[in-house]
């Protein structure tokens, strides 16, 4: 430890190396597909902006805010269908707007990418799933095609038992 006038001031003893400082990567979360997510009633809060998610300005302002805050990525959850949890009916889901899809996620992603430089979209997604680099476009499509072929074979093998 370093010592100045008999006082320990921390630091590393001469000749020893310090470990590299740990880095924290900040990410954010939002829901593109629904207005209420899992917080019914939050619309009552005057600061709630969820009802503006149908406006492109919501998404561009969010992207700029995230970038100013040095947030590296946005996990944009979506919902492609309502949840029929009340007696197998969508009625309550629709009536309450509880996790009922209202916007395709490709729309906010496109407008957010247009107003940011550092917010990760593709590269960040690859790192998130543990890949060191972006997989070439054609290779990604080949992989997706292989996946869909396997999925179709599975569905065909299951036949009517799934219906």
Rounded CA separation 148/55 (Å): 34
Where do the structural domains in the chain lie, given as residue ranges?
24-132, 135-163
* pTM more than 0.95: no
Rounded CA separation 6/44 (Å): 60
In this predicted model, what pLDDT tens digit does every residue of 106-125 receive, in sequence order? 788 888 888 988 776 666 56
In this predicted model, what pLDDT tens digit does every residue of 61-79 receive, in sequence order? 999 999 999 888 888 877 6
Which pLDDT value is given to residue 68?
92
| DSSP helix, strand, coil percent of the chain (3-state; round to 5) | 40, 10, 50
Nearest Cα residue to 118 out of 69, 78, 77: 69
Q: What proportion of the chain, given as a percentage, has pLDDT over 70?
A: 69
Confidence of residue 100 (pLDDT cuts 50, 70, 90): confident
How far is CA 147 from each of CA 141, 142, 155, rounded to the nearest angstrom?
Answer: 10, 9, 12
Q: Average per-residue pLDDT in the chain?
A: 75
């Amino acid at each position: 430890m370093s010592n100045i006038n008999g006082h320990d001031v921390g630091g590393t003893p001469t000749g020893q190396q310090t470990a590299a400082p740990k880095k924290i990567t900040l990410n954010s979360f939002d829901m593109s597909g629904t207005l209420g997510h899992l917080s019914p009633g939050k619309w009552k809060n005057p600061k709630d902006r969820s009802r503006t998610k149908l406006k492109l300005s919501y998404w561009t302002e969010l992207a700029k805010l995230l970038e100013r805050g040095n947030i590296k990525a946005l996990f944009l959850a979506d919902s492609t269908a309502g949840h029929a949890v009340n007696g197998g009916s969508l009625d309550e889901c629709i009536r309450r707007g509880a996790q009922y899809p209202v916007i395709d996620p490709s729309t906010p992603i496109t407008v957010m990418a247009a107003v940011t430089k550092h917010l990760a979209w593709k590269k960040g997604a690859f790192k998130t799933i543990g890949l060191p680099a972006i997989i070439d476009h054609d290779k990604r499509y080949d992989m997706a095609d292989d996946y869909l072929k396997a999925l179709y074979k599975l569905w065909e093998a299951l036949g009517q038992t799934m219906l």
